Structure 1
């Protein structure tokens, strides 16, 4: 008969739960850090100006195209 009735030594449940807490904390920290980086890049970057295409049908009848930038910065 084995020394351990269920196949192995028993692990202290406090050690096991603290390991899970550390893993969850590190995962949350990585998630928050990545999202903070995305917000920083979105706020500090300015995309280059590009020419906007207008629909040929709207130009023929003299109307503005419905597909263009709402407020162009260029």
Structure 2
């Protein structure tokens, strides 16, 4: 007599755990990519309103890391 189970595990349960494993791998891969991008990127200075010269509706950096030009 044959059964539809593999090693006593139903196909639905096997598919469920395979899906859980695939989702975990996806999350781990996405997090690894975010860490890689965060450590490898070197953003340049961007134009912004200098501190003390902000008008209404404009924002300035709290402390600019860029040198004044």
User: Distance in 1 between the 2:26 and 2:9 partners?
Assistant: 24
User: Distance in 2 between the 1:56 and 1:71 partners?
Assistant: 17
**Counterpart of 2:9 in 1: which secondary structure?**
helix
Task: Detail structure 1 runs of 4+ shifted over 6 Å in the superposition.
Answer: none
Name the Cα RMSD after superposition.
2.5
Q: 1:55 to 1:70 in 2, by over 3 A?
A: closer
TM-score by length of 1: 0.56
TM-score by length of 2: 0.59
In the alignment of these two chains, the number of paired residues is 57
Which structure 1 segments of 5+ residues have no match?
A: 1-9, 58-65
Partner of residue 14, structure 1: 9
Structure ID, larger Rg:
1
Higher relative contact order, structure no. (Cα contacts within 8 Å, ≥ 6 residues apart):
1
Q: How does 1:1-74 map to 2 (within 5 A)?
A: 11-12=4-5, 14-16=9-11, 17-53=13-49, 54-56=53-55, 67-74=59-66
Which structure 2 segments of 5+ residues have no match?
A: none
